[in-house]
Structure 1
Amino acid sequence: MTLIPHAIPLINDPEVVHALAARWRRTRTLLLLSAGVLPVTIGVVCVVLAVLTSAGQRIMPWWSAIPAVAAAACAWALLTWLRRNGLSDPHSWLPATTLMTGAQLVLGVLPGSGIALRLSPGAALAVKALCAAGVLGAGSACSLARLARRSLLAAPVLELGSTAFPLVLEGREARVVISTDRIDWTSRRGARVDAGVPFARIEHVTAEASTVVLHTASGSWAVPVSDPATALALLRRRLAWWEERRTAAVERERRRYDDLLQLLAAVSGESTRGGVTVTVDSNGVTTGISLSPAVRGLDPDVLAARLMACVEGARSDARRQVQDLVLEHAEKASH
């Protein structure tokens, strides 16, 4: 399994993938180094420190392995987070890498070095070199994570509007964040003001002077930006992408609903008791009654009781099938 896909994730438009391919190749390389190679290397450093600790001991103290385990756990946590959630938010790469590599230093490299120096003083030079390598690796990982984000998002291009990456536009007067379903900004004109508008409320957008104007049913919002033309183009592209995804989601839900209706229409509950068989549809309406030769000569009251019991049993069977189908549909929709 590839840790980071070779093609830019969460994109189905071939033109966008092609336009961002060069950026993604650089970003992918930097991200693999910062969140993969270097954290794993720091974990290896801690393992080597644990081995040095046991070199002069007949029996390796169990607690001397704790720093190595902690460092390896941090590296695994960072890789797991990156694979599952991290690729869609480049702005979280640096904080996540800083947190995990810092934890590796605090929980792994520094305690491991101290234990190794105490129990194996003869290997002091090697221990110091390994400690320096761990610190250097953590610092390099943070720098590469910052470069990875900049490589992908530093110079906004129009195609980024058709991705799920949050777009941050920094200016002297405001900081604007265009996410997947809304736009938020922090204005620095006079008193600090935080505001945001969901895409669902925006009717159209225009550019005026040094602002982008968001027109909604309840009024207009002026968002200060340093480059109105670029911000307007990115925002319109993101709005079109969001509308396409919303339309596609509605269409998928409609198809799932139609499929559910077809399955429900095919539901047939059945119950058999003493030669009497009753079938009902998903609404509990009786669709068939079958009587075997065994019911000949039965008292009418007994036969009526069996019929009613079969009707209730068939309806219960139909309700169970309907419930199972609805629950299965809900589970698929949640995924």
Structure 2
Amino acid sequence: MTLIPHAIPLINDPEVVRALANRWRRTRTLLLLSTGVLPVAIGLVCVALAGMTSAGQRIMPWWSAIPAVAAAACAWALLSWLRRNGLSDPHSWLPATTLMTGTQLVLGVLPGAGIALRLSPGAAIAVKALCAAGVLGAGSACSLARLAHRSLLSAPVLELGSTAFPLVLDGHGSRLVIGSDRVDWTTRQGGRVDAGVTFARIQHVTAQANAIVLHTASGAWTVPVSDPATAQALLRRRLAWWEEGRDATEERYHELVRLLAAVNGEASRGGVTVTVDSNGVTTGVSFSPAVRDLEPDVLSTHLMACVEKARSDARRQVEDLVLEHAAVKAGH
């Protein structure tokens, strides 16, 4: 399984994918190095330091392996986080990489080097070299994570408005953050003011000199920005992307409701056939001529068994539909 997809994630528009392909290719390379290759290399440095503690020792102390285990766990945690939900928030790449590689240094490289120097003083030069390599790797990982973020978002292009990436625009004492379903801003003119509005409340967006205006049903918000035309275009593109996603979600919901309403569980036993709807309510009972020879208590038993089996069949169909709907939603 590919750690980082070759195509930019969370995008279904082929034109947007093509427009951002080169930018994502550079970002992907930098991100692989900063969150994959270098943290794993730091873990290998700790393993090497743990191996050096056995020089001249018949049995390597078990506790000398703790720094290597800690460093490996940090590398695995960073990779798991990136694969699970880190790709959707480029602004977290640098903090996450700094946290994990810093933890590798504090819990892995430095303690491992200290243990190796104490147990194997004859290998002091090699230990110091490995320690320097670990520190250099951590610093390089942080720098590359910063470059990955800048490569993707530092120069906003219109196509980024059709992605789920948070877009941050700074200027004129303000900071504008365009999210996936809302826009937030901070201004420091005459005191700090933090405000925000959801996309559902925005009616339209206009540009003024050094500012954009967000028009809502309850009033207008003026947000200072350094490039009003770019901010307006990006926000309008993001609003259109959000509306398309909302419409698609509503369509999928109505389709799910329609399919659930059409669910019918059915079961037959001993000439008895029972059907139920998606709520388990019996909608039909039929008997074949074979039931004429059945005792009343046996017929009753068959009837109850059919009801339970039909309800179980309906529940299974409902679960399958809901899971399929959830999978489609996650894919979008």
Q: TM-score, normalised by structure 2?
A: 0.91
Structure with the greater alpha carbon radius of gyration: 1
Measure the CA separation in 2 of the matches of 1:125 and 1:108: 18
Deviations 1:287-323 (A, max 9, x none): 411232762xx8xxx64x6655554443333333333
- Unpaired runs of at least 5, structure 2: 328-332
Measure the CA separation in 2 of the matches of 1:39 and 1:212: 42
User: Do 1:170 and 1:176's aligned partners in 2 also have CA atoms closer than 8 Å?
Assistant: yes
Partner of 2:330: none
Deviations 1:139-196 (A, max 9, x none): 1110111011011100111011011111001113211110111101111121211111
Partner of 2:54: helix, strand, or coil? helix
User: Do 1:211 and 1:228's aligned partners in 2 also have CA atoms closer than 8 Å?
Assistant: yes
Partner of 1:250: helix, strand, or coil? helix
In structure 2, the CA distance between the partners of 1:149 and 1:293, relative to structure 1 (3 Å rule), is closer
Partner of 1:277: 272
Partner of 1:109: 109
- Unpaired runs of at least 5, structure 1: none
Partner of 2:287: 289
Deviations 1:44-96 (A, max 9, x none): 11111111111121110011111111111111111111111111111000000
* Residue identity (%): 68
User: Do 2:172 and 2:224's aligned partners in 1 also have CA atoms closer than 8 Å?
Assistant: no
Partner of 1:207: 207
Measure the CA separation in 2 of the matches of 1:56 and 1:3: 40
Q: How much has 1:278 moved relative to structure 2?
A: 4.2
Match runs of 1:261-272 below 5 Å: 261-262=261-262, 264-265=263-264, 267-272=265-270
Partner of 1:198: 198
Match runs of 1:40-189 below 5 Å: 40-189=40-189
Q: TM-score, normalised by structure 1?
A: 0.90
Partner of 1:16: 16
Partner of 1:320: 312
Q: How much has 1:279 moved relative to structure 2?
A: 2.8
Partner of 1:38: 38
Partner of 1:285: helix, strand, or coil? strand
Measure the CA separation in 1 of the matches of 2:238 and 2:115: 53
Deviations 1:222-246 (A, max 9, x none): 2221111000000000011111111
User: Do 1:281 and 1:287's aligned partners in 2 also have CA atoms closer than 8 Å?
Assistant: no
Residue 268 of structure 1 aligns with an amino acid whose one-letter code is: E
Measure the CA separation in 2 of the matches of 1:310 and 1:285: 17
Q: More deviation in 126-135 or 325-334?
A: 325-334
Partner of 1:126: helix, strand, or coil? helix
Q: How much has 1:22 moved relative to structure 2?
A: 1.4
Measure the CA separation in 2 of the matches of 1:159 and 1:290: 64
Q: More deviation in 8-17 or 58-67?
A: 8-17
Partner of 2:252: 252
Q: How much has 1:198 moved relative to structure 2?
A: 0.9
User: Do 2:168 and 2:175's aligned partners in 1 also have CA atoms closer than 8 Å?
Assistant: yes
Partner of 1:207: helix, strand, or coil? strand
Q: How much has 1:328 moved relative to structure 2?
A: 3.5
Q: More deviation in 117-126 or 181-190?
A: 181-190
Measure the CA separation in 1 of the matches of 2:282 and 2:309: 10
Measure the CA separation in 1 of the matches of 2:291 and 2:30: 80
User: Do 1:214 and 1:221's aligned partners in 2 also have CA atoms closer than 8 Å?
Assistant: yes
In structure 2, the CA distance between the partners of 1:327 and 1:293, relative to structure 1 (3 Å rule), is closer
Measure the CA separation in 2 of the matches of 1:170 and 1:117: 48
Measure the CA separation in 1 of the matches of 2:283 and 2:301: 14
Deviations 1:224-282 (A, max 9, x none): 211110000000000111111111222222333333333x14x224343xxx5243443
Measure the CA separation in 2 of the matches of 1:37 and 1:281: 56
Give the number of aligned pairs: 324
What's the RMSD between the two structures over aligned residues? 1.9
In structure 2, the CA distance between the partners of 1:18 and 1:278, relative to structure 1 (3 Å rule), is closer
Residue 314 of structure 1 aligns with an amino acid whose one-letter code is: C
User: Do 1:286 and 1:311's aligned partners in 2 also have CA atoms closer than 8 Å?
Assistant: no
